[in-house]
């Protein structure tokens, strides 16, 4: 299961600096890969210290972490929904993403000119991006609504559901709110909503880009964004992108750790951001551990054992018999799978078992 997050924001808010920091994530775990597919697209690893700990016990041939794609979507300005600043191209890039990382400028710097040249105003910056995305969604809805209304009037049941969904979204968007504030009860409505691929239904993480002095506790600017995001039910985090750039430039782990300790940060902002992006869509990992590899597999929170087996191979799900499950804490405590078995801590689970984050799994199947 792949995850793609798009970094959006106005010019000069720190998007590209943040992307460049993410692209240096390889330095934080030497055997974890980073690959640039295009200049603005990178595949980065999801930091997970559990894999390193298990590798110490298992001595595998390789470690394979979970990954996600990050896209640096440049050029969003006021008027993007009408094509300003290559807006149509970049709005199309957002449509292909699973989640949005919305970077907001929360720092003062006379050398970095704000779009339009006025004083720093994070709420206005956020609203400009929101408005452009909302206008594009309204355009999508208007294009669909007339067509679906005609089909609904002719008695098409699916069209009637679509019309209900489109009208609900339209009412909210015309109030200047994001479509993600609307929820639907029936599976038919939920599917119709999903099929629209609206920009403002995507989960969003607001990243407050602050100065170094505010890296730990934030500042008045970031607190403004946190208050607005709380009303939306959205997540926020504070990061000092320029400082993260300095951390990313350091060669070894010890130097990075020393720098973080001096700043009062337990973990780099880049690591926190990657994990937040990963969990934004309720994604978790189960682990397989053996002599060949220790590997993290991505699954949706709440999935049962057969669905997770299908992540490895569809045959595993089709022919699922049972799952052998070891809790990560038990594996670390006893030191090996054999010791876990002897201690009676290996569990046999069936089709109804809901897999938990960090479960070490071995699937039995027959096809």
Neighbours of 154 (CB within 10 A): 8
Instruction: Confirm or deny that 266 is annotated as ligand binding.
Output: no
Domains 4-118+202-279 and 302-365 are alike in CATH topology = no
The pTM (predicted TM-score) of the whole model is 0.83
For the chain, what are the domain ranges? Answer: 4-118+202-279, 134-200, 302-365
Length of the chain: 367
Architecture in CATH of 4-118+202-279: 3-Layer(aba) Sandwich (3.40)
- Whether 76 and 69 have beta carbons less than 8 Å apart is answered as no
227, 232, 236, 241: CA torsion to nearest 10: -90
Q: Which residues are CB-contacts of 175 (< 8 A; sequence separation ≥ 6)?
A: none
Instruction: Confirm or deny that 17 is annotated as ligand binding.
Output: yes
pLDDT of residue 83: 53
d(CA 366, CA 320): 7
What average pLDDT values come out for the chain (367 residues) when binned by 10 residues?
82 82 50 45 84 94 89 64 51 82 91 76 92 90 93 93 96 94 93 92 94 92 96 91 83 82 83 84 92 94 96 95 97 96 96 97 93
d(CA 137, CA 95): 10
d(CA 7, CA 67): 16
pLDDT of residue 77: 56
pLDDT of residue 26: 40
Specify the CATH number of the domain 302-365.
3.10.20.30
DSSP for 252-280, written as a single string: SHHHHHHHHHHHT-SS-HHHHHHHHHHHT
Neighbours of 229 (CB within 10 A): 19
pLDDT of residue 316: 95
Instruction: Confirm or deny that 12 is annotated as ligand binding.
Output: yes
Nearest-5° Cα angle at 164, 159 to 169 = 120
With CA atoms as reference, report the closest residue to 41 among 72, 15, 20, 16: 72
Identify the DSSP state of 113.
P
d(CA 94, CA 132): 12
d(CA 269, CA 101): 14
3-state SS class at 165 = helix
Architecture in CATH of 134-200: Orthogonal Bundle (1.10)
Instruction: Confirm or deny that 181 is annotated as ligand binding.
Output: no
pLDDT of residue 165: 96
């Amino acid at each position: 299961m792949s995850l793609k997050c798009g970094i959006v924001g106005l010019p000069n808010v720190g998007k590209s600096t943040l992307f460049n920091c993410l692209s240096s994530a390889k330095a934080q775990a030497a055997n974890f890969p980073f690959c640039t597919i295009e200049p603005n697209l990178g595949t980065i690893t999801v930091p997970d210290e559990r894999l390193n700990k298990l590798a110490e016990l298992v001595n595998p041939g390789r470690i394979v972490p979970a990954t996600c794609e990050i896209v640096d979507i440049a050029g969003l300005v006021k008027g993007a929904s009408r094509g300003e600043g290559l807006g149509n191209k970049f709005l199309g890039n957002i449509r292909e993403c699973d989640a949005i990382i919305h970077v907001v400028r929360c720092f003062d710097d006379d050398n970095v000119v704000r779009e339009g040249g006025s004083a720093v105003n994070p709420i206005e910056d956020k609203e400009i991006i929101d408005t452009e995305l909302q206008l594009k969604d309204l355009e999508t809805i208007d294009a669909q609504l007339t067509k679906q209304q005609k089909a609904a009037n002719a008695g098409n049941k699916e069209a009637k559901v679509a019309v209900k969904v489109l009208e609900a979204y339209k009412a909210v968007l015309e109030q200047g709110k994001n479509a993600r504030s609307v929820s639907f009860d029936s599976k038919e409505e939920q599917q119709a909503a999903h099929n629209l691929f609206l920009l403002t239904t995507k989960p969003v993480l607001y990243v407050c880009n602050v100065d170094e002095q505010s890296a730990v506790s934030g500042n008045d600017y970031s607190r403004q964004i946190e208050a607005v995001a709380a009303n939306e039910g959205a997540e926020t985090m504070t990061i000092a992108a320029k400082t993260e750039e300095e951390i990313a430039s350091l060669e070894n782990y010890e130097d990075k750790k020393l720098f973080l300790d001096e700043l009062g940060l337990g973990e780099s902002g880049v690591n926190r951001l990657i994990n937040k992006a990963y969990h934004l869509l309720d994604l978790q990992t189960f682990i397989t551990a053996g002599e060949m590899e220790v590997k993290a597999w991505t699954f949706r929170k709440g999935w049962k054992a057969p669905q997770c087996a299908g992540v490895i191979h569809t045959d595993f799900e089709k022919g699922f018999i049972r799952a052998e499950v070891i809790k990560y804490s038990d594996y670390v405590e006893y030191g090996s799978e054999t010791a876990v078995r002897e201690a009676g801590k290996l569990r046999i689970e069936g089709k109804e078992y809901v897999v938990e984050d960090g479960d070490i799994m071995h699937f039995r199947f027959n096809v």
